[in-house]
Amino acid sequence: MLDFLKIFGSSLLLLHRLLGHRNDQKETPSSTWKIMCVQATGGVAAGAVASCTMTPLDTIKTRLQVMDNDRRQTARQVVKRLVIEDGWKGLYRGLGPRFLSSSAWGTSMILAYEYLKRSCAKVEI
């Protein structure tokens, strides 16, 4: 979860810079719609990075879990076997559903958090 938020935060800064916003400039605040679009895009980007890095590890873990105890292999042997049988793309089985799940979860969580943060903030007079 913490890694997801770090990725999300850095992608938000990048998106704001691409839109022409700088930290040192005094500008008019962005519209709520623009802020939400940037946050949603950041959530999708963070979900993409998380799913691309975790899918190979999850594939290896799943293979290890479904093996018989009689034919137990090491993680290294599982990776070699996957690469021999399916090539490197074998490590990325299930990337599509994981990408959709991570992106949807990340985007909805970040949008809900930011909405609640804005709606609960006290207005200073």
Q: What is the pLDDT of residue 76?
A: 93
Query: How far, in Å, CA of 80 to CA of 88, rounded?
Result: 10
Q: Is the pTM here over 0.75, yes or no?
A: no
- Average pLDDT of 51-72? 88
Neighbour tally for 36: CB within 10 Å: 15
Cα Dmax for the chain: 71
- Greater confidence, 4 or 115? 115
Q: Determine the Cα–Cα distance for residues 125 and 108; give it in Å rounded to an integer.
A: 31
Judged against a pLDDT cut of 60, whether residue 84 lies above it is answered with yes
Mean pLDDT score of the chain: 80
Q: Does 50 score more than 80 pLDDT?
A: yes
Please say if the pLDDT value at position 121 is more than 60.
Answer: yes
Question: How far is 64 from 57, CA to CA, in rounded Å?
Answer: 11
- Interatomic CA distance for residues 74 and 78, integer angstroms: 6
